[in-house]
A and B are shown apart, each in its own frame.
Chain A
Amino acid sequence: MSAPSFIDRLSAAHQSAAASLPGAAQPEVTARRQAALDSFRRHGLPTARLEAWKFTSLTGLERQVPPQPANEGSVDPARVQAATLPGDSFRLVFVNGRFDAAASKLAGLPKGVRLLPLSQAGPELPAVLASAGDDRATSLAELNAAFASDGLLLQLDDGVALDRPVELVAFGAPALVNLRHLVRLGHKAEATLVESYRDAGSAETGWNNIAAGIELAEGAKLTHIRLQGESAATYHAALGRVSVGAQARYAHVSVQAGGRVARHELQVEFAGRDAEVDIQGLVLARGSSHVDHTLRLHHAVPDCRSNQLFKHVVDDQGHAVFQGGIRVAPHAQKTDAQQLSRTLLLADRAQIDTKPELEILADDVKCSHGASIGDVDAQQLFYMQARGISVAEARRLLLSGFAYEVVSAVPEGALRDHVEAFVEAWLVQEKDGQA
């Protein structure tokens, strides 16, 4: 008999883990988890044969990651300190896929706000674990539903505006971690969410498999910052699904600066008219890091606006992927959808694959996309040199300037400083004299 397959071993691991997962006592939840596992077993891991996975391969994962949930672990408090916002915030910290109450801050939640780890949730679990689809393209989300050990649950009642940001900080493990989040903002509710995935300091290979659902009711506003700074040995795959109600506003900034293979897939559906979505992404890839942003914006209703700006800085043998799909449904008139992707390749073996896709089925629309790829601008470089700046310094300044356009989409103040520090930490490691 041949050795059991990766998927069989995962199934076996599920058997032993099931009893300790949140909701194990709720038959509805256990049935859903089993169905999710079955779906994953049917479809398996996504492969390059899928259009949406054309440029990103998970083949190394099966060999390198133990197919079992992570055990408990701990993280150096200094790392937690460094990864969190300095000022006032509500905070949930997860280590190895488990809620770390000691490192978290949940005291003093205002009325109308429900914020808790998934492991402490009950009646919400079926909604949190709801299916994202039963096919190969969504199989990882089903795997996540089967195994989800914890995550963030945030619900705001109608009209509630949180004055402090909500922080979610997760540290991975040298095994499989499945966090699952659900954010629901009521009518005209407002919140800021900072979602961070950080390096726990282990050199071993881990796998963070994340799924997140975001639902914005009419007139709700969410500012959503996502920082991915995993270790160079970590596989990171996340699927976010966002539903944007009428007149709601979703502003998202995603910075990915780590991971062996890291993918953030975001599906945004406009559910009501006159809504606005602004998505900005920054990829910082060096070493042999492979970083993927895959977006699908569905303008299903008229009168909505979306804007996407994605920037990539790729050094060494890094590989960036940007797939930006915009679909404008029939009758979604007066849609305004803009997209721009810009890339700086800094090394001979650096590479970028981009596919900015437009699918337009209504005529009274303003849609465009643009993509540019190249090295830093020679004229700008020369101009700075002519003012006495060294090439290395000029390049650094130009890189900062390039990245800053995305950073500046973060609301000014402590939050922007936090993101800027995250970006600068990557940039200062750029080698001197790279030319």
Chain B
Amino acid sequence: MAANAQTIETVENLAGEYKYGFVTDIESEILPKGLSEDTVRFISAKKGEPQWMLDWRLKAYRAWLRMAEEKGEPAWAKVSYPKIDFQDIHYYSAPKKKNLKSLDEVDPELLATYEKLGIPLKEREILAGVAVDAVFDSVSVATTFKEKLKDLGIIFCSMSEAVREHPDLVQKYLGSVVPITDNFYATLNSAVFSDGSFVYVPPGVRCPMELSTYFRINEAKTGQFERTLIICDKGAYVSYLEGCTAPMRDENQLHAAVVELVCMEDAEIRYATVQNWYPGDKEGRGGIYNFVTKRGACRGARSKISWTQVETGSAITWKYPSVILQGDDSVGEFYSVAVANNAQQADTGTKMIHLGRNTKSTIISKGISAGKAQNTYRGLVRVMPGAAGARNYSQCDSLLIGDRCGGHTVPYIEVKNRSAKVEHEATTSRISDDQLFYCRQRGLSEEDAVSTIVNGFCKEVLQKLPMEFAVEAQKLLGVSLEGSVG
């Protein structure tokens, strides 16, 4: 257990050489499997974190140990998977186990998918995990970009950098929306988070461009425990795009990220995700367990948080982007498309907690199941006694393709205020033979017909995505559902 004083020292010595942070080849730094206080100390030391950050992580780690002992992993979601051995995971490792030299070594099926998505060759190499340092200088891209933002006072950097450069902001807001002990995976993330994005938009500033992890793609791959924190100060606005529109290959099994959004008076945050982690093969072997905690707090009056997600990947998705509507007249939105094909399992939805007066929330969820997949919408709308005039509208539709899959809807609606108005609708339907035949009679191939109908089904959500994102998401839907009919 005590072994690692030396390791820490080594890392600290190394730190000097890591000016360029995430782009350097980190192959040699894979920490042996296992989780202990030393692991946490190692990660913190590796990042050159101050004491308060290490203390925060250790507090989380100890809380997690208690949780693991008392209750274990949450079991309420409608997903099943073998028990995770948390000692059998690398908590600090580069995802590229194999350092592929060229595209020739990459799984041809994966390449075919990229090609269908129309991803440029260079990006395909990055995505497939081919050594990229030479061909893609993400640092320089990010840097140019950052300069522009800096002029406006916007901070956009990695979480590691924020801990070092903006400790006041991080200390004030980290864990303020998703507390250390929020849930099993969030607590684990708090202890061992590797990296993620940090955004601060100062009062009155409208961020002129979509911020995206796309620019830091190399960095995004460093960790299976990302931590993102976005703060939008009074009257500010930011639109954030997470992940890539392209499938990211990730060989790790567990992905437990935490995203926290803080929205002050009159501010607005739009957060869009297109998630296409590796879903495993058709029989359900491999694939990512995507156990993510995302939550936003509308702290100020008239603030607005909007989550849009297109979830097509991962073997298991466990994810409930939520909004706490504290400020009067604040607005929460959740627009979601979740596709589960083959052996995928998705249990996803949202929570809208109405605390302030005249708060408003909208939930539009479209679940598509195919193959043997199970797709569950699980949502909570809670109107607290003080939330006079609260409004919620929820619509949860399931589309089933084939007779071996399942589509489930589990909405919880808890209302403690008479002046609230809450409406919920849910339907389940399938792609009918009539619709398919009709499209095919007009010349569409069967796959295009499915894709057309599915896109129509998802239209309300896709419309909420930024333009380029929407186009890619549409293609992704088609690709994800290939082979689902017939």
Q: Which residues of A contact B (CB under 8 A)?
A: 51, 55, 330-331, 333, 343, 345-375
Whether A363 contacts B426 by the Cβ 8 Å rule is no
User: Which of B2-10, B191-199, B416-424 lines the interface with chain A?
Assistant: B416-424
**Residues from 387 to 423 in B contacting A, C-beta threshold 8 Å:** 398, 400-423
Whether B422 contacts A373 by the Cβ 8 Å rule is yes
Q: A55-B414, A357-B411 are in contact. List 18 more A-B contacts (CB 8 A).
A: A331-B403, A333-B403, A351-B414, A355-B412, A359-B408, A360-B428, A361-B405, A364-B430, A367-B427, A368-B425, A369-B425, A370-B424, A371-B422, A372-B424, A373-B415, A373-B420, A373-B421, A373-B423
Closest B-chain residue to A358, C-beta based?
Answer: B409
Chain A residues whose C-beta falls within 8 Å of the C-beta of B76 in the assembled complex: 51
Closest chain-A Cβ to B78's Cβ sits at a distance in Å of 8
Task: Give 30 CB contacts A-B under 8 Å.
Answer: A51-B76, A346-B418, A348-B417, A350-B418, A351-B414, A352-B414, A355-B410, A356-B411, A357-B408, A357-B409, A358-B410, A360-B406, A360-B407, A360-B408, A362-B400, A363-B400, A364-B430, A365-B428, A366-B429, A367-B428, A368-B427, A368-B428, A369-B425, A370-B423, A370-B424, A371-B411, A371-B422, A372-B421, A373-B423, A374-B422
- Closest 9 pairs between A and B when the two form their complex, measured CB to CB: A363-B400, A345-B418, A374-B421, A373-B422, A371-B424, A367-B428, A363-B430, A358-B409, A351-B416
B385 touches A (CB below 8 Å): yes
Chain A residues whose C-beta falls within 8 Å of the C-beta of B407 in the assembled complex: 358, 360
* Alpha-carbon gap, A356 to B426, bound state (A): 9
Closest B-chain residue to A361, C-beta based?
Answer: B406
Closest chain-A Cβ to B190's Cβ sits at a distance in Å of 26
With A350-B418, A368-B428 already in contact, the answer to whether A373 and B400 are too (CB < 8 A) is: no
* Alpha-carbon gap, A263 to B401, bound state (A): 38
* Alpha-carbon gap, A176 to B108, bound state (A): 70
Chain B residues whose C-beta falls within 8 Å of the C-beta of A361 in the assembled complex: 405-406
Closest A-chain residue to B401, C-beta based?
Answer: A363
Whether A373 contacts B419 by the Cβ 8 Å rule is no
Chain A residues whose C-beta falls within 8 Å of the C-beta of B416 in the assembled complex: 349, 351
Chain A residues whose C-beta falls within 8 Å of the C-beta of B405 in the assembled complex: 361, 363
Name B's interface SS: strand
* Alpha-carbon gap, A364 to B431, bound state (A): 9
Q: Which residues of B contact A (CB under 8 A)?
A: 76, 385, 398, 400-430
Whether B424 contacts A351 by the Cβ 8 Å rule is no
Chain B residues whose C-beta falls within 8 Å of the C-beta of A359 in the assembled complex: 406, 408
Closest chain-A Cβ to B336's Cβ sits at a distance in Å of 17
* Alpha-carbon gap, A205 to B424, bound state (A): 37
Chain B residues whose C-beta falls within 8 Å of the C-beta of A349 in the assembled complex: 385, 416
* Alpha-carbon gap, A55 to B398, bound state (A): 26
Closest chain-B Cβ to A56's Cβ sits at a distance in Å of 13
Whether B400 contacts A360 by the Cβ 8 Å rule is yes
Whether B418 contacts A371 by the Cβ 8 Å rule is no
Whether B422 contacts A358 by the Cβ 8 Å rule is no
* Alpha-carbon gap, A331 to B412, bound state (A): 28
Whether B423 contacts A371 by the Cβ 8 Å rule is yes
Chain A residues whose C-beta falls within 8 Å of the C-beta of B410 in the assembled complex: 355, 357-358
* Alpha-carbon gap, A371 to B409, bound state (A): 13
Identify B418's interface contact among A331, A333, A375, CB under 8 A.
A375
Residue of B385, B398, B413, B425 contacting most chain A CB atoms (<10 Å):
B413
Closest chain-B Cβ to A376's Cβ sits at a distance in Å of 10
Whether B424 contacts A356 by the Cβ 8 Å rule is yes
* Alpha-carbon gap, A351 to B166, bound state (A): 44
Chain A residues whose C-beta falls within 8 Å of the C-beta of B429 in the assembled complex: 366
* Alpha-carbon gap, A352 to B415, bound state (A): 5
Chain A residues whose C-beta falls within 8 Å of the C-beta of B418 in the assembled complex: 345-348, 350, 375
Closest A-chain residue to B402, C-beta based?
Answer: A363
Whether A369 contacts B417 by the Cβ 8 Å rule is no
Chain A residues whose C-beta falls within 8 Å of the C-beta of B421 in the assembled complex: 372-375
Closest B-chain residue to A367, C-beta based?
Answer: B428
With A358-B426, A370-B424 already in contact, the answer to whether A330 and B419 are too (CB < 8 A) is: no
* Alpha-carbon gap, A359 to B369, bound state (A): 13
Closest chain-A Cβ to B435's Cβ sits at a distance in Å of 13
Closest chain-B Cβ to A54's Cβ sits at a distance in Å of 8
With A352-B415, A363-B430, A364-B430 already in contact, the answer to whether A372 and B406 are too (CB < 8 A) is: no
* Alpha-carbon gap, A346 to B425, bound state (A): 23
Chain B residues whose C-beta falls within 8 Å of the C-beta of A343 in the assembled complex: 415
Whether B413 contacts A354 by the Cβ 8 Å rule is yes
Chain A residues whose C-beta falls within 8 Å of the C-beta of B426 in the assembled complex: 356, 358, 368-370
Chain A residues whose C-beta falls within 8 Å of the C-beta of B427 in the assembled complex: 367-368
Chain A residues whose C-beta falls within 8 Å of the C-beta of B413 in the assembled complex: 352-355, 371, 373
* Alpha-carbon gap, A351 to B415, bound state (A): 6
Closest chain-B Cβ to A21's Cβ sits at a distance in Å of 39
Whether B408 contacts A362 by the Cβ 8 Å rule is no
